[in-house]
Structures are given as C-alpha cells and as structure tokens.
Structure 1
Amino acid sequence: MTQRGPVVGPELVGLLERSFAVTRAVLAAVPPERWGAGTPCDGWNAGQLGGHLVGGATYFGRCAAGLAPELPTEEPRPLGDEVVADFDEATRLNVEAFGRDGVLSEELPFAFGPTPGWVIANISLSETVLHSWDLARATGLPYSPDESSVDAVLRFQRQSGEEELRADGMFGPAMPVPPGAGPFEELLAFTGRKP
C-alpha cells in the first residue's frame, strides 16, 4: 500500500475547525476537581495541558498571521470557564490566520526558522488531536476525534523521520499497535501513547 503524503491544502482549515470544536467540548467538560490530575504528558497536570492547548493554538495562529510570535510559556492558565474562553479566542485567531489566501504555501516565522504554513497548520492540528486525548484520558472524559483529522495527523507524522519525531521527548518510542486497532489507536501508538 502506498503511503499518502501530508495534507497541504485549504482543507486543513476545516480540519482545524472541527478538531478545535472537539477539544473545546473536552475542555468545557473537565470537572473542577480534575484540573490537578496527572496526564500522559510527563510532568503536566490537566490544568497545565489545558494551558498548553490554549498557548499552542495562539502561537500557531500568530505564526500564520505573521505576528512574529514568541514561543508560548507553559505558565499555569485560568481553569474552567476561563480556559474555554481563552481557547475560543486562540482558535478564532488560528482559523482566521490559516484561512487567509495563500498562507499555507507561504514561508512563515516559526520557532525553528521560516517554515511553510501547511507544516505549521499540521503541527497545530496534531497538537489539538493528540493533546485532547491526553486531557480526556486524564480526566475520565470520552473523546471521539474527527476521523479526517486523525487521518491527516497520521499522514503528517509518518512523513517525519524517526529521529525528528522522537527528538527532545516530543514523542516517546512507538508502542505496539493492538490487534484490530483503528486509525486513531494506530496514531496513538505511533506517537508513543498506549491506546
């Protein structure tokens, strides 16, 4: 079977919108007492992961808007309703910025140097799809990601070299894929998560 390349076109904007809606639902459903729960992300509790989701969506949106962004700090964020409002603002900026004509093919300012917009959009999509699962798992909530987004993230992550994927603890070693696993379980295993 031929491996398909990453999604690079304007359909990325719709994938981001749908995935952000799923993430928002998870953020809104976190019970107040679960914000301190540990997550599959080493060293982060649910509140810190919620802050990372807000900071990431903001950062990637600022990159796409050409606002010479600085990397987000992993400072604790407000919890509950405030994190949902912050996420709404961040994702609005993100979707509007990536929806601009031609931005996906432009070289944009990024932490690692000028980077094509479609790469940054795929990183943004990866962050929300994967970290939403981490947050849902930590807080005991259901999570059903958008299937097309899962496919896009898997295609994007597979095109990266193994050394690049596992550098600096970005992803842990790939886990065995359980028999009969679907695409999302395959993605979780590929990114070092136990489905």
Structure 2
Amino acid sequence: MTDITDPRPLYRDALAWVATLMGEVRPDQLTQPTPCDEFDVATLMGHLVATVDRARVIGAGGDPASVPLVATAAGDDGDWTAAYRAAGEKMWVVWDDDALLAAIVTAPWGRVPGQAAIWGYLNETLVHGWDLAVATGQPAEADPALVEAALAVARRAIPASPRGGHVPFGAVIEPAAGAGPTERLANWSGRADRPVIAA
C-alpha cells in the first residue's frame, strides 16, 4: 500500500519518467503544440524544469513566485534533460529532510504541509509528462501503480467542480474506453482524451 504521508518516492519515479521522455524529444518537435494550451514542446520542458525549481524553493522556505513559470535556458548545450536532472538533484538536497513533510510551506495554491506540496508537484509532473508524451508521439503511460496512487489523491484534492478561477483546471473529461491511469489523471485535470498531435 502506498504511504500517502510520504509521496517523495512517487515523485522521484515521476521525475525519472519525464526525464526519459525529454531525452527522446527531437529538435524538430520543439515548436509543436501540446495538450496544454499554454505551452509548445520547448516551453513545456522549460516549465517542467521550473516546477522542480519551485519545489526546491518551497522546501527551503521561499516564495515559489520568485521562480519564473518557464525556465528560459537549458544550459550551454540546450540539453533540457540535463537541466531537468540537475534541477532534481538540487531539489532533493532540500527535500531529503523528512521533517519537511509535516512542515507548513508556501505553495502556489496556499500554505500547506510539505507532503501536500509534493503531492501537488507529483500531479503536475505526471500530467505534463502525459502532455509531453502525447505531443511528441511517445508512449504516454507512466507506471500504473505510481499513477493510480496520484489519481486517488488528485480526486480528493482537486474538486470536480467548480473549475476555473482559483481552481486552475479545465472541466473533467470523461475518459475514453480503455484509457490508462495516466490518461485518466490527465482527463481529471481537464485534458482532452487522446488528442491527435503530429509526431
């Protein structure tokens, strides 16, 4: 059974999955749209790096708004995967402290226990990972056990209604027949089922 008080092992697995997806993105795919209307492939990867930086800042007692929504550089060689892994290494220096799980931190959605902040970033990582996979024609399902745990928490933490405004998610989408857990998590976050995006 998943320990819902410590989502860090799940977050590690989600970060590793997304890093693998990033590593398979081709240069000609960087300007393609994604299921997340705000981002194309390149800016989505920049946003994913920024989410990890924000998690680090939150754990260190800082303000997540001090970190831009999208990281604007992937290092000297333009390697988003390396930038993402490096951000993760810095973040875990902070979050390896068990005491942070019960500490009250400032997340973008308010003051919450550290464990709730990590659950939020786990959800964002998986949904945006799905976005990236769909946009670049990669297998879009993460480990089912990982995602089912995240989906169970998301259904409790993110209300089905209302959506919009202070609940920054689109309307829940009815999953397609046979949808896997990652797609169903994306649907819960308001992503359309199985969008057709050229790879």
**Shorter-chain TM-score tier:** 0.7 to 0.9
SS of 1:40 mapped into structure 2? coil
Report the equivalent of 1:134. Answer: 131
Q: Is the 8 A contact 1:172 1:192 kept in 2?
A: yes
SS of 1:157 mapped into structure 2? helix
Matched, 1:119 2:111: no
* Aligned residue among 7, 22, 27 for 1:27: 22
- Give me the CA root mean square deviation: 2.5
1:1-195, aligned counterparts within 5 Å?
8-10=4-6, 12-75=7-70, 77-78=72-73, 81-159=78-156, 160-163=158-161, 166-167=164-165, 170-193=168-191, 194-195=193-194
SS of 1:175 mapped into structure 2? coil
SS of 2:110 mapped into structure 1? coil
After TM superposition, the score normalised by the length of structure 2 is 0.83
Q: Which consecutive residues of structure 2, in runs of 5 or more, have no partner in the other structure?
A: 195-199
Kindly provide the amino acid, as one letter, of the partner of residue 82 in structure 1.
Answer: D
**d(CA) in 2 for partners of 1:48 and 1:157?**
25
Shift of 1:56: 0.6
**d(CA) in 1 for partners of 2:184 and 2:117?**
22
Shift of 1:126: 0.8
Moved more, 154-163 or 50-59: 154-163
SS of 1:134 mapped into structure 2? helix
Kindly provide the amino acid, as one letter, of the partner of residue 191 in structure 1.
Answer: S
SS of 1:108 mapped into structure 2? strand
Select the structure with the greater relative contact order (CA < 8 A; seq sep ≥ 6): 1
Task: Quickly say closer, same or farther: Cα 1:132–1:180, change in 2 above 3 A.
Answer: closer
**d(CA) in 1 for partners of 2:163 and 2:143?**
23
Task: Quickly say closer, same or farther: Cα 1:75–1:13, change in 2 above 3 A.
Answer: closer
Shift of 1:48: 0.6
**d(CA) in 2 for partners of 1:136 and 1:40?**
10
Cα deviation 1:110-135 (Å, max 9, x = unaligned)? 33432111111011101111101101
After TM superposition, the score normalised by the length of structure 1 is 0.84
Task: Quickly say closer, same or farther: Cα 1:36–1:131, change in 2 above 3 A.
Answer: same
Higher helix share: 1
Shift of 1:166: 4.0
Q: Which consecutive residues of structure 1, in runs of 5 or more, have no partner in the other structure?
A: 1-5
**Pairs aligned (count):** 190
